[in-house]
Amino acid sequence: MRNLTLLSPLAVALRSRTEALVALFDNVAKARMAGVPILNPALRVEALGFELCDGDGAEAGGTHGAVGVLVTPWFMNLVWFPLERIDQPERAGNSRVHQVGTEGFDFIAGHEAAFGSYEACSLFSPMFEFPDQAAASATGAAVLAALRQPPAPAPVATPALAVQGPAAPSKAADLAARRAFLFGRRSVAGEAT
């Protein structure tokens, strides 16, 4: 992921496609989802933290893609979309892995005539756990912040020092000691009492 300057062509495309995604799902909420009992009326459609993905569009026509969180009254998903509209309705329902930070997630392809192709990975559905938009937005932002953390540095291996100690007890002696302990007997100098 990378941040874009506000006036670069990619930034303009990202902003335009993100706004189109929100408009699409606003329309879906009003036209197709109206009255459906899984809607949380305290929520609205919101796009959170969409950023450009490096080298993520080869399978979707070679275009740049972006990923972020989409909050709606009925779901919260990680969503990937190409910055240039691609229409691949035949891919709807197919999955592929996208990297978000250091983690790979399966995204399911979708297609809407008003937007084109996109891919989604479900985070929450339905959305009744969220009392208001602020709680849903904070959760989506926290998900992205956690996923976009830089990888932890690998621990530095230190050579083990060879330490001479007593020989490990034999398996038979170890088993006898465990049995003695379980049955309330203690061993003194190798003898059971």
Task: Give the tens place of pLDDT for each residue, 119-137.
Answer: 999 999 999 999 999 999 9
Looking at residue 170, what is its pLDDT?
Answer: 61
* pTM of the predicted model as reported, rounded to 2 decimal places: 0.74
Q: Is residue 153 part of a domain?
A: no
The CATH number of residue 60's host domain is 3.30.1460.40
- Give residue-wise pLDDT tens across range 76-103: 999 999 999 999 999 999 999 999 988 9
C-alpha distance from residue 178 to each of 166, 170, 172, 183, 187 (Å): 19, 12, 10, 9, 10
Low-confidence stretches of the chain (pLDDT beneath 50): 1, 58, 182-183, 185-188, 190, 192-193
* 161 occurs within a structural domain: no
Q: What is the pLDDT of residue 74?
A: 98
Domain with 177 in it: 166-193
Q: Residue 146, SS3? A: helix
Q: Cβ neighbours of residue 120 under 8 Å, at least 6 residues apart?
A: 70, 77, 78, 79, 80, 107, 108, 110
CB count in 10 Å sphere of residue 115: 19
Q: Residue 120 CB: number of other CB atoms within 10 A?
A: 16
